[in-house]
Amino acid sequence: MVSASSGCEPVRESVREPAVIRSVLVANRGEIALRVFRTCRELGIATVAVHSDADARARHVREADAAVRLPGDAPADTYLRGDLIVAAARAAGADAVHPGYGFLSEDPEFARAVRAAGLVWVGPPSGAMKAMASKTWAKRIAAEAGVPVLAPFRGDAAADLPVLVKAAAGGGGRGMRVVRELALLDGALQVASAESAAAFGDGEVFVEPYVEGGRHVEVQVLADAHGTVWTLGTRDCSLQRRHQKVIEEAPAPGLPEGLDDALCAHAAALAKAVGYVGAGTVEFLLDGRGRAWFLEMNTRLQVEHPVTECVYGVDLVALQLRIAEGGRLAERPPEPVGHAVEARLYAEDPARDWRPWTGTVHALEVPEGDGLRVDSGVGAGDAVGPHYDALLAKVVAHAPDRPSALHRLARALERARVHGPVTNRDLLVGSLRHPEFAAGTADTGFYGRHLAELVAARSGFEKYAALAAALADAQGRSRFGGWRNVPSGPQVKRFRARPGGEEHEVRYRIGRDGLEGVPGVRLLEAARERVALEIDGVRRPFEIAFHGTSADVDSPLGSWSFTLLPRLPEPAPRTEPGSLLAPMPGTVVRIADGLAPGDRVEAGQVLLWVEAMKMEHRVTAPDSGTLTALHAAPGRRVATGDLLAVVVPPVTVPPAVVPHEPAVVPHEPAVVPHEEAAP
């Protein structure tokens, strides 16, 4: 229990009256809703979905027993409207509301509104949620409970650098900035505060030491209303991009002796201090010497909870429902068995600053069974839109030991068929097989050090994948795949790797002796959907699927997506020099303070921010120059390719054109016309 000296009121709530849940509304979407639905079906509990207009045909809507529309597309108008969700639960006759993990799952006011409506809240007490909602307040409570916390930043000591600026509310990497020079701290505070205010409606930020080479380790807690608290071991979530997790595993590998037990004890102490009930996660940061500090407590189920379920043989959602009904946990949790690892398969391009990708999913087939689990909210024919997270699936492997689990997961991803949006599939395979990760020593800086080598690993085989696509395409057009009895010119196909990748012109001829014109390659088999090539003496199979003018190629070497180009290049659309175009559909959330046409900008300077798929993307000046046009405005919805701004670099006039006589240069002011119009 929190001490009175902290200034925080005790947050333990009275033991709940026993309840029987017959119908649950899940206040979430996609994979999250489907995960809860699966357990509800196994328990004989009816399910209710809510959906935005963009999700009207989504899989979670199709699989629910009932669904209620939330008018609109954007999360702020739909899934973040607690009043609409409570009304939907009452209209559908639900007994309880499960918040999932995301959106309103950590909103204490939403929890209160659910209970006030006479519904069962499948989550922690609102008081505990409020106590942990602010990271600054949570650190005070943790310190009083004896949980180690990072020392506060002293404000002007260079010895404290580097530091991390963090949003007090929310998470997901928003409102976070690493600062390595004191002179840059004020600017980072302003940017982080603005980002936090836009994302969470709260601009409070704080500063703490930044731990170089730190590991992100967390503990799963589960508590009932009768005082029993379980800790279900540790998870390592250090492989992150943009401060968001990509690969997670349980238990955390390579911890110093005794640290696992110490972290679990700290997590239990904090849960008891705030009177916690339900499932939650206590997160810690470990430095290179094995010292641990409290980061935050997530008062909800985590995305990575399946690895804990696999190791402990439990269903955390089922336990949440039992606790919400007033049930008791056993005195002790089950014993852990084996190792589990989870990879998040995203529609994104790691090679282009993790840019999320929209479009129709033509195929999503990942092996399941035999220690493999797939949690997904999309399937073939579903669309990945700009409004929500780009997660396609969570793929989980469980095995008796860590090396076996890593191998099992890498092989499952390697054999997966994911067609349509660009994905991080090959990056995940490369990460799981990287020596540093395999050794269990990876930290949060892993991708900062290794991203370039991981995205380049498969590039050497791209030309062979393009050749396989060309050969397969020929099979669909000619019964004989291009072979003629009379010598003829070569077959020519042009492909562009997506997204915006290298263009490949494939030239070949099928003669009496097989494939001609491609040194070092023999054609072993060619069909519309399968091509086998012998490359430098090694047989390499390729699976090909065509979707309109797109070709998706899968191979043990990697996966590629190509666009078939016309024989004669079409004229490229003309854009004004210096034009900055929207990289993806989204919403402009902020413009740099004071930015206006006529301003001088520097190369790399952030001009504006576009929010898409739960991530903020910075649009920067490609060169130093003058901002001659600004078409973006906060709140404006943009499509891919929309003009946002124009930055014109200074015009460099060759010396020979500028004689020394001033009278010979009468048009000099016209070279920079925007300067005359500047305010």
Q: CA 646, 649, 654: angle at the middle one, nearest 5?
A: 145
Q: Tokens 């809510």 label which residue?
A: 50
Mean pLDDT for the stretch of residues 543-553: 93
Query: pTM of the entire structure?
Result: 0.84
Q: CA 642, 646, 647: angle at the middle one, nearest 5?
A: 145
- What percentage of the chain exceeds 90 in pLDDT? 61
pLDDT score of 159: 62
User: For the ranges 383-392, 417-426, 488-497, which has the lowest average pLDDT?
Assistant: 488-497
pLDDT tier at 140, thresholds 50, 70, 90:
very high
pLDDT tier at 188, thresholds 50, 70, 90:
confident
pLDDT score of 8: 38
More confidently predicted of 209 and 274: 274
Question: Is residue 676 predicted with pLDDT exceeding 60?
Answer: no
**Is the CB of residue 558 less than 8 Å from the CB of residue 541?**
no
Q: CA 391, 375, 529: angle at the middle one, nearest 5?
A: 80
Question: Is residue 575 predicted with pLDDT exceeding 80?
Answer: no
Closest CA to 216 of 271, 294, 268, 276: 294
Taken in order 1, 235, 322, 34, is the CA torsion positive or negative? positive
pLDDT tens digits, residue range 593-618? 889 999 999 998 999 988 877 677 88
Question: Is residue 545 predicted with pLDDT exceeding 80?
Answer: yes
Question: Is residue 546 predicted with pLDDT exceeding 90?
Answer: yes
pLDDT tier at 171, thresholds 50, 70, 90:
low
pLDDT score of 570: 60
Mean pLDDT for the stretch of residues 6-34: 74
pLDDT tens digits, residue range 404-441? 999 999 999 999 999 999 999 999 999 999 999 999 99
pLDDT tens digits, residue range 294-330? 999 999 999 999 999 999 999 999 999 999 999 999 9
Would you state the structure tokens that stand for residue 265, as one six-digit string?
A: 């004890």
Q: Look at strands 66-69 and 96-98 and give their pairing.
A: unpaired
| DSSP structural state of residue 196 | H
Other C-beta atoms closer than 10 Å to the C-beta of 483 total 14
d(CA 340, CA 414): 18
| Mean pLDDT for all residues in the chain | 87
- In the chain, the amino acid numbered 599 is D
pLDDT score of 199: 63
d(CA 394, CA 371): 14
Question: Is residue 111 predicted with pLDDT exceeding 70?
Answer: yes
Question: Is residue 483 predicted with pLDDT exceeding 70?
Answer: no
Question: Is residue 485 predicted with pLDDT exceeding 60?
Answer: no
Q: Look at strands 637-638 and 606-612 and give their pairing.
A: unpaired
Mean pLDDT for the stretch of residues 462-486: 74
- Please list, in sequence order, all residues whose beta carbon lies within 8 angstroms of the beta carbon of residue 585, skipping any fewer than 6 positions away: 358, 386, 612, 637, 638, 639, 640
Would you state the structure tokens that stand for residue 516, as one six-digit string?
A: 């001609």
Mean pLDDT for the stretch of residues 520-540: 94
Q: Which residues pair with 86 in a beta bridge?
A: none
More confidently predicted of 659 and 502: 502
Closest CA to 283 of 270, 273, 320: 270
pLDDT tier at 460, thresholds 50, 70, 90:
confident
